[in-house]
Amino acid sequence: MQTSISSITVHRVPLQLRQPFTTSFGTYETLDRPFVVIETSDGLRGVGEVPTLLDPAYKAEVDTPSVLTSLREFILPSVERFQREQGEIDSIPALRESYSWVKGAVFAKSGVEAAMWDIVAQRTSHPLWHLWGGERRTFPVGVSIGGKTVSQVLDLAEQAVALGYGRLKVKIWPGFDDEVARAVRRRFSDVFLQVDANSAYTMANWHRLQMLDDLDLLLIEQPLFDDDIVLHSEISRKLRTPICLDESIHSLRDAQAAATLWGQNNGLARLIVNIKPPRVSGFAEAITIARFCHERGIRSWIGGMLDSAWGKAMNLNLNGLPEIELPGDHFSPGGAYFVEDVTGTPLVAEAGQFALGDGVSAGVAFDWPRFERMGQVVYRQELAR
């Protein structure tokens, strides 16, 4: 049967965080998220979140206005044109080809791709983890702690450990690093502990990170510039703790560049990659990167972007891949990040472990009535058949 896309709709949904989330680049209390909804000629409806932030302080093109512009001006019209010329778009490769000429716009592209993955999964009645080659049904997950003071971070860490989480990630920046990491390590001597600087250090002050080298940290995430790989590889030679790249990885080629640099002095065990599907344009590229890293002996994990429960559920499915070696960022210490979320079922980890079920697609029910009430349609592209 010939199937095609009949419409693509972009919704904009305000989300209220249960508690403020602080990083080196600022504090967020609310978010404003585009969700892409694709409808097909065979009566399916798929949804993909674009986990934007309010501004480009984390990195370029992550802000809601940029993503809405890319979708409206370039990506959705390209999908429409491609289908008009080719007759159908019924697969992920065809969809990606339709907008491959657009440089960058990784976050915007990822929402369209995620909606199409939801359709492909529904059409074949498979869970996403199964479509993606997942084999692990149960795996450890961790929490990301964005606190403003040492005592706030300790409180959040306490909550997470009480819930059974065995892996904590703590946000740091110059002056809020050694003390907070040491305090968490002193309180929880046997958790997997890692820190994330979100590019807050420079070549003038990165030496502060050497103070953390005796804390048995799993990794230090993106200490330097958001667009840098080379300088990270240089400071990595002078640190025992592995460096993890987040912001600077957008594609397989970025991971390959990092592998070349760290490989030059046998340092691949000191390179870790945070794979965020939306930051690498979608799940297809994320899977390619995970396989490449695994082959080269580079450990990887699935990072989050304060995603809604729908985005988190998709990311959890990706954790089924045997190539993913480290626990991901998948929950806030108290459960879902938001006061009101877009799925009916909450995502629950037992004793720090998440178990994937047999449910179709993401494995959780998307709450359409609530979603429609929470947000509004901002753009709609009709496609001819």
For the annotated catalytic residues, the residue numbers are 171, 276
Pick one of 39, 90, 113, 196: the residue that binds Mg ion (CB under 5 A).
Answer: 196
Is there binding between residue 196 and ligand OSB (CB under 6 A)? yes
Is there binding between residue 61 and ligand OSB (CB under 6 A)? no
Q: Which residue has the tokens 């479509």?
A: 131
Pairing relation of β-strands 26-40 and 243-245? unpaired
Is there binding between residue 329 and Mg ion (CB under 5 A)? no
Return the SS3 of 100: coil
Question: Which residues are within 8 A (CB) of 61 and not within 5 positions of it... i.e. 6 or more apart?
Answer: 67, 70, 104, 105, 106, 107, 108
Q: Which does 113 bind (CB under 5 to 8 A by kind): ligand OSB, Mg ion, none?
A: none
Of 9-17, 29-37, 70-78, 298-306, which part binds ligand OSB (CB under 6 A)? 298-306
Return the SS3 of 177: coil
Of 154-162, 186-194, 214-222, 357-365, which part binds Mg ion (CB under 5 A)? 214-222
Q: Which does 233 bind (CB under 5 to 8 A by kind): Mg ion, ligand OSB, none?
A: none
Q: Considering the complex, state which of residue 58 and residue 99 has its C-beta at the smaller distance from ligand OSB.
A: 58
Burial class (CB in 10 A: 0-12, 13-18, 19+), 189: exposed
Q: Which does 304 bind (CB under 5 to 8 A by kind): ligand OSB, Mg ion, none?
A: ligand OSB
Q: Considering the complex, state which of residue 46 and residue 328 has its C-beta at the smaller distance from ligand OSB.
A: 328
Pick one of 120, 200, 244, 306: the residue that binds ligand OSB (CB under 6 A).
Answer: 306
Q: Considering the complex, state which of residue 196 and residue 341 has its C-beta at the smaller distance from Mg ion.
A: 196
Distances (CA, A) of 62 to 54, 55, 208, 237, 269: 8, 7, 29, 30, 30
Pick one of 66, 198, 199, 233: the residue that binds ligand OSB (CB under 6 A).
Answer: 198
CB of 15 to ligand OSB, least distance (A): 12
Return the SS3 of 29: strand
Site string for ligand OSB, 310-349 (x = CB under 6 A): -------------------x--------------------
The tally of CA atoms less than 13 A away on the side-chain side of residue 66 is: 19
- Residues numbered 233 to 292 that lie near ligand OSB (CB under 6 A) are 246
CB of 352 to ligand OSB, least distance (A): 14
Pick one of 49, 113, 246, 367: the residue that binds Mg ion (CB under 5 A).
Answer: 246
Total residues interacting with ligand OSB, rule: CB under 6 A: 11
CA–CA separation, 166 vs 353, rounded Å?
9
User: DSSP labels for 217-264?
Assistant: -S-EE--S-TT-SHHHHHHHTT-SSPEEE-TT--SHHHHHHHHHHHHT
Pairing relation of β-strands 299-302 and 243-245? unpaired
Token pair, residue 95, equals 């969809």
Which letter, b or e, does each residue of 89-110 get, where b requires 16 or more Cβ atoms within 10 Å of its Cβ?
bbebebbbebbeebeebbbbbb
Q: Considering the complex, state which of residue 112 and residue 326 has its C-beta at the smaller distance from Mg ion.
A: 326
Residue nearest to Mg ion (CB): 246
* Residues constituting the chain: 385
CA–CA separation, 199 vs 69, rounded Å?
26
Pick one of 35, 58, 206, 338: the residue that binds ligand OSB (CB under 6 A).
Answer: 58
Q: Considering the complex, state which of residue 27 and residue 100 has its C-beta at the smaller distance from ligand OSB.
A: 27
Is there binding between residue 144 and ligand OSB (CB under 6 A)? yes
First to last CA, the chain: 13
Is there binding between residue 305 and ligand OSB (CB under 6 A)? yes
Residue nearest to ligand OSB (CB): 304
Q: Which of 218, 216, 209, 224 is nearest to 176 (CA)?
A: 209
CB of 25 to Mg ion, least distance (A): 10
Of 155-163, 232-240, 249-257, 300-308, which part binds ligand OSB (CB under 6 A)? 300-308
Contact residues toward ligand OSB (CB under 6 A) are 58, 144, 196, 198, 246, 303-307, 329
